[in-house]
A and B are shown apart, each in its own frame.
Chain A
Amino acid sequence: QSALTQPPSASGSPGQSVTISCTGTSSDVGGYNYVSWYQQHPGKAPKLMIYEVNKRPSGVPDRFSGSKSGNTASLTVSGLQVEDEADYYCSSYTGSKNWVFGGGTKVTVL
């Protein structure tokens, strides 16, 4: 199972929006509405930010939103804040009853 494709980096100024893409295949991202997004700060465990494409766990700010079109899912962070600077990983359920993660995107707040 190949990793999902994410851009290695993205950036934005405070208050701006940044969108991260996550591209898979019809066997994972395109085949299921089971894409989730994780935020990871250095030295910390990942934190669930979005699940099932666009659902937010309780406590996650509504500045974080998810969407999907075909084989590509996206995470948008609106109103960027300094604390949003982190690595972000997408994940998808696959037809092999496995899970696959993306390679990660480092978001920098300029």
Chain B
Amino acid sequence: EVQLLESGGGLVQSGGSLRLSCDASGFTFGNYWMHWVRQAPGGGVVWVSRMSSDGRTINYADSVKGRFTMSRDNARNTLNLQMNSLGAEDTAVYYCARGPRSDSGNYFVGDYWGQGTLVIVSS
């Protein structure tokens, strides 16, 4: 069974940093693209970043570029999101999502999603 479990969320002051993790199981993690997506309370879903299966390709939304860093450890089946210079606009539930297999030729954000971890940035 595919499972994604996010952790690391919490309350942080404006300007602070936080590191989110996503532990994956039930599939060969190193074969898949992975994404981070966030959703502000009462708001819509917003794409944050994606990383290729080998970690060589990373793309970020303009709103987080230069502040957020996505990484992965295929040996430990773990995805990370380092978030710096946080502002109130970053308050959201953060989801990790499994993208397509790198050799599938498919395009989508996530066929499996974690339950999310809540980040609250206070001023």
Cβ contacts B94-123/A at 8 Å (1 or 0 each): 010100000000111111011110000000
Cβ contacts A71-110/B at 8 Å (1 or 0 each): 0000000000000000001010100111111111000000
**In the complex, which residues of chain A have a beta carbon less than 8 angstroms from the beta carbon of B113?**
45-47
Total number of B residues with any Cβ neighbor in A under 8 Å: 23
A-B contact pairs, 19 of them (CB 8 A): A1-B61, A3-B46, A34-B108, A36-B108, A36-B109, A46-B110, A48-B109, A51-B108, A51-B111, A52-B107, A91-B45, A93-B107, A96-B59, A98-B47, A98-B59, A98-B61, A101-B44, A101-B45, A104-B45
User: Interface residues, chain B, CB within 8 Å of chain A?
Assistant: 35, 37, 44-47, 50, 59-62, 95, 97, 106-111, 113-116
Q: How far is the CB of B99 from chain A (nearest CB, A)?
A: 10
Q: Which A residue's beta carbon lies closest to that of B108? A: A51
**In the complex, which residues of chain B have a beta carbon less than 8 angstroms from the beta carbon of A40?**
45
Within 8 A of B (CB), among A1-60: 1, 3, 32, 34, 36, 38, 40, 45-48, 51-52, 57
**In the complex, which residues of chain A have a beta carbon less than 8 angstroms from the beta carbon of B62?**
1, 98
